[in-house]
Structure 1
Amino acid sequence: MRGITNNTVQLSKWKKGTFIVGVIILLLSLLYTFLYLRHDPNFVDMGNRLAGSSLTHPLGTDHLGRDMLTRLWMGTQYTIGFSSLALFAALLIGIPIGLISGYFKGITDRVFMRIADAFLAFPDTIVAIVLAGLLGPGIGNLVLAITLVKWVNYARLVRSTVLAESEKEYIWIAKLNGLPARKIMSKHLFPHVIGHVLVMASLDFGKVILLISAFSYIGLGAQPPTPEWGAMLNELRPFFSSMPQLMLYPGFAIVLVVLFTNLLGDYLRDRFDVKKEGSV
């Protein structure tokens, strides 16, 4: 038993250490990039196309002579920025609906459950493909499609937490004292919800990044010349045999960010794990 506990502690320390190292690498990369960037990401220089690494272009240039490091950094803003926007919009929709559905129950809860069942009848990716195809190619339509897919998961998570908490004594006491439903939900129920939501959102963030990159790769997301990582992979695909590193750069960036978000999710799960805290 003691060996299992020691292994668990060592694994937790390894995750925390890996997460800290990831943060340090990310900050150093951001600092270097901010000091270095001086190229226009969309500037075409056909006389310098497919150039190798140099002091002027540390990661070389693409098939149109555009600086790869600059486009990779701009892709960070597009990929992570639009992923954050989609996830934030899903939270703005899912959390209030989950609170209202779990607190009031009745017809409100039944209507929500029927809507949720319709969205959950198919895998997230299939629904997102259908919605993105119906809305048409474009990063804005893709963000909308992902939002329409993801909000249901957060609403169900919040609803289940609220259903469990609303039966406890302190909620009944608040109701007997005449506290409005709005204040009960904001002051008593929301603090119990937010930890679970943050853990799920941090683990979901990597999935959203993969969705946006994958859809941009097949032409349903960001369109050229937008320097989004998935769109960059699609543009550079014909040159994979001659200069594979051009595709490896955005591919490695996607893997690195997804790995970092998973480590963040593990850290937050340990931080907000109510069962773990209650058992100590």
Structure 2
Amino acid sequence: MELVIKEKSKRRWGMPVLFTVMATVLAVAAYTFLILKHDPALVNLEERLWPASMEHPLGTDHLGRDVLTRLLLGAQLTVGYGLLSLFAAVIIGVPFGMIAGFKGGLIDRVFMRIADAFLAFPDTIVAIVLSGLLGPGIENLLLAIVLVKWVNYARLVRSTVITERQKEYVTVAKINGLSSFGIMRKHLFPHLIGNVLVLSSLDLGKIILLISSLSYIGLGAQPPAPEWGAMLNDARPYFQSNMLLMIYPGLAIIFVVLLTNMLGDYLRDAFDVKKEVGS
């Protein structure tokens, strides 16, 4: 009993702190342009690989560009791209899942065959193949991620709708003459919000890792964009002489991914969602 009370107390105090940190990260990413002191693309070979100083708190890279400036702008790109692709996947997946789960029949069977095709291979493999086929570039990478991720939300929503549509309140709504769209919007959609939020928060970290890893191998953001994965790739030849160039963006990726995973765990507890959602 005492352990349960302590766990609830941790969750009660941990949630505001976690949301505050997450909001701070998003604010820094959104308003980076207000605190930039240096041009992130300005090349100055006279200042290449400088150590940390008052002028350059994290030093400079191999082209003399300020590392802190590029790291902050990278938060805008990496986190922003992750949120954009996540939003697109949710917007596409949720309606598909609701319609397939509620209507059933041929629509549901066609959807399931499409879902099976996408889920036959791991997300990362499919994203790499699609990015390779579409060509290098952040736009093509985001398109590949959306094509991979929307199925997860559609399947989650479909399974929830199939469970809920058999309950009495849906039957009563049909008897009262409420349209299918009205039933989905008014009665079914509220039951989906918790599951979708939890999966989204857990998925954001995976998407950020995917964007960074594919940018690292040259399929995502292209130089001179200060995306964290691209920064890791730029710093790779200088790892032995100046390993901090790789450590800074690496730590930034780890921090944000851990933060999103913790947020997902808290939301899962708050909405009392089953563990399978995050798997």
TM-score by length of 2: 0.92
- Alignment partner, residue 186 of structure 2: 187
1:8 to partner: Cα distance: 3.5
User: Structure 1, residues 205-229: CA drift from partner, whole Å, max 9, x if none?
Assistant: 0000000000000000001101000
**Whole-angstrom distance in 1 between the partners of 2:10 and 2:274:** 18
- Alignment partner, residue 52 of structure 2: 53
Change (3 A) 1:208 1:27: closer
**Whole-angstrom distance in 2 between the partners of 1:271 and 1:94:** 23
Q: Report SS of the residue matched to 1:57.
A: coil
1:242 corresponds to which letter in structure 2?
A: S
Change (3 A) 1:149 1:4: same
Q: How does 1:156-235 map to 2 (within 5 A)?
A: 156-235=155-234
- Alignment partner, residue 135 of structure 1: 134
RMSD: 2.3
**Whole-angstrom distance in 2 between the partners of 1:264 and 1:6:** 20
Q: Report SS of the residue matched to 1:55.
A: coil
User: Structure 1, residues 77-111: CA drift from partner, whole Å, max 9, x if none?
Assistant: 11011111111111111000000001001111111
1:56 to partner: Cα distance: 1.0
- Alignment partner, residue 240 of structure 1: 239
**Whole-angstrom distance in 2 between the partners of 1:132 and 1:266:** 30
- Alignment partner, residue 61 of structure 2: 62
> What is the aligned residue count?
275
Q: Report SS of the residue matched to 1:53.
A: coil
Identical counterparts, % of pairs = 63
Q: How does 1:6-17 map to 2 (within 5 A)?
A: 6=5, 8-9=7-8, 12-13=11-12, 15-16=14-15
Does structure 1 retain, via aligned residues, the 8 Å contact 2:29–2:76? no
1:3 to partner: Cα distance: 4.7
1:248 corresponds to which letter in structure 2?
A: I
Unaligned runs of 5+ residues in structure 1 are none
Does structure 2 retain, via aligned residues, the 8 Å contact 1:154–1:197? yes
Change (3 A) 1:35 1:247: same
Higher mean displacement: 122-131 or 34-43: 34-43
**Whole-angstrom distance in 2 between the partners of 1:27 and 1:90:** 20
1:32 to partner: Cα distance: 11
- Alignment partner, residue 118 of structure 1: 117
**Whole-angstrom distance in 2 between the partners of 1:216 and 1:259:** 20
- Alignment partner, residue 154 of structure 1: 153
**Whole-angstrom distance in 2 between the partners of 1:24 and 1:91:** 21
1:52 corresponds to which letter in structure 2?
A: P
1:5 to partner: Cα distance: 2.3
1:34 to partner: Cα distance: 6.3
1:16 to partner: Cα distance: 3.2
1:44 to partner: Cα distance: 0.5
Does structure 1 retain, via aligned residues, the 8 Å contact 2:29–2:73? no
Does structure 2 retain, via aligned residues, the 8 Å contact 1:75–1:227? yes
Does structure 2 retain, via aligned residues, the 8 Å contact 1:15–1:263? no
Does structure 2 retain, via aligned residues, the 8 Å contact 1:15–1:266? no
- Alignment partner, residue 255 of structure 2: 256
1:25 to partner: Cα distance: 6.5
